[in-house]
Amino acid sequence: MYKFLDSTLDFLLKEHQHPHHALLIQGREGLGLPYLAKAFARVLMCENPVYLGKVLNRACGQCASCHLMASENHPDFLYISPETQEVSISETESVPDKVAVAATQIKVQAVRALIESLTVTSHRNVRRIIVLDPAEALNAIAANALLKVLEEPPQNVVFLLLSARPGRLLPTIRSRCRVFIVSSDTMQEKALAWLEEQNIPDAVGWLEASQGAPLAARQLALEFDSLGIRARSNAWLTADLQQVLATAQGLKRPDLKAWLFWWYRFITDCLRVSQEVKPVFFKHDMLALRNLACKQTQFAWMKYLNLVEAQLRSAEHPLSAPLVTDTLLVQYCEMFLTKQH
Ligand SMILES: [Zn+2]
């Protein structure tokens, strides 16, 4: 587990060493909830755990259960996530071109199989742990199937529901869970040290941009580098159609969505600057950013940002991605032809 989660795990164990049958662990993406849940499960499953005073503290790392958890083979530990599926994006092209698209739903089959498995007694331990990551990915039927189990929980089964958007869970599911909130506040020092260990340049800036979520900060920094966002943003700053269009050319398909997110971040920074608020992501050329932001009104930036948001929502369809980027970029350049009031 990442060191920046240590104190969060201590706190989680202190509060929930005798866990309720359903625990909702909520926190922003990039805080490492899956790692926390696995570490928590390792301690709960351990046959010879280490205590700090009277509080469970760490797994022993030696017992049969610890070995099974380490090899991800523990029969009493289940981790359920949406499965990655292959989606064809070649409908308009002659060359077959499939990309793996992360599925967004946990289907009812997965939950039914899980319920079925609960009818058999546990293999090793008295306790079984089931992680649902993210819990809001349960589709409506799957959520209702889970709700039935939570209403009449089997003995010694603990459900860990991970969620960055608990508002999307069925209220009836939420009300059956105890809640543990993972906050970035308690991990900042260690998060920063960890990012620096990873040789992330401007770790402070990226951590701030990701609202304190270290894994998200690393992702931002790595993408900024690998997608050449600095060079691309220099072209965006010119607002010159040819230069701007070139920034979406030659992108590999899997990178298009990430590109679109960076474009969204760029426009939000332009809007911020037009409102005299500090930018979050593009601080390397403040003068050019300010000049660009001043070329349009706040209203125009807001209106354009709405367009980008609408495209982001439909960005799950990789088929339309190249067309989407070109259209957005042309609309962006057109925005500077007239100043709106
Ligand atoms: Zn152990």
Task: Determine the distance separating the centroid of ligand 1 and the alpha carbon of 220, expressed in angstroms.
Answer: 36
**For residue 124, what pLDDT is reported?**
66
What residues pair up with 51 in beta bridges, in sequence order? 56
Query: Residue 134: is the preceding peptide bond cis (ω within 30°)?
Result: yes
Task: Determine the distance separating the centroid of ligand 1 and the alpha carbon of 45, expressed in angstroms.
Answer: 7
**For residue 254, what pLDDT is reported?**
76
117: left (phi over 0), alpha (psi -120 to 50) or beta: alpha
Q: SS3 for 313? A: helix
Distance CA 245, CA 251 (A): 12
Strand 50-52 vs strand 84-88: parallel, antiparallel, or unpaired? Answer: unpaired
Distance CA 222, CA 210 (A): 13
**For residue 125, what pLDDT is reported?**
61
**For residue 318, what pLDDT is reported?**
55
Task: Determine the distance separating the centroid of ligand 1 and the alpha carbon of 126, expressed in angstroms.
Answer: 14
pLDDT bucket at 315, cuts 50 / 70 / 90: low
Task: Determine the distance separating the centroid of ligand 1 and the alpha carbon of 83, expressed in angstroms.
Answer: 29
Domain 227-335 has CATH 2.60.40: no
Task: Determine the distance separating the centroid of ligand 1 and the alpha carbon of 328, expressed in angstroms.
Answer: 54
**For residue 103, what pLDDT is reported?**
62
The per-residue pLDDT for range 51-109, each reduced to its tens digit, is 999 899 999 999 999 999 999 989 899 999 887 444 433 333 333 344 444 567 888 88
Strand 84-88 vs strand 98-102: parallel, antiparallel, or unpaired? Answer: antiparallel
pLDDT bucket at 126, cuts 50 / 70 / 90: confident
Q: Which amino acid is located at 23 in the chain?
A: L
CATH number for domain 3-183, candidates 3.30.420.40, 3.30.1360.170, 3.40.50.300, 3.30.110.30: 3.40.50.300
Task: Determine the distance separating the centroid of ligand 1 and the alpha carbon of 57, expressed in angstroms.
Answer: 11
The per-residue pLDDT for range 146-191, each reduced to its tens digit, is 999 999 988 889 999 999 999 999 999 999 999 999 999 999 999 9
pLDDT bucket at 118, cuts 50 / 70 / 90: confident
Task: Determine the distance separating the centroid of ligand 1 and the alpha carbon of 183, expressed in angstroms.
Answer: 28
Section 272-276 average pLDDT: 95
Task: Determine the distance separating the centroid of ligand 1 and the alpha carbon of 48, expressed in angstroms.
Answer: 5
Checking if the pLDDT of 228 tops 60, the result is yes
Distance CA 227, CA 260 (A): 11
DSSP letter at 184 equals S
Q: SS3 for 103? A: coil
What residues pair up with 99 in beta bridges, in sequence order? 87
Instruction: Please report, for the chain, the start and end positions of each structural domain, with discontinuous segments joined by +.
Output: 3-183, 227-335
Instruction: Give pairs for 84-93: CB < 8 Å, separation 24+.
Output: 87/318, 89/253, 89/318, 89/319, 91/319, 92/319
Task: Determine the distance separating the centroid of ligand 1 and the alpha carbon of 134, expressed in angstroms.
Answer: 27
Task: Determine the distance separating the centroid of ligand 1 and the alpha carbon of 129, expressed in angstroms.
Answer: 15
Checking if the pLDDT of 340 tops 70, the result is no
Distance CA 85, CA 99 (A): 9
Query: 32 with 191: CB under 8 angstroms?
Result: no
Predicted model pTM? 0.85
Task: Determine the distance separating the centroid of ligand 1 and the alpha carbon of 35, expressed in angstroms.
Answer: 17
User: Of 337, 20, 7, 314, which is closest to residue 188 (Cα–Cα)?
Assistant: 7
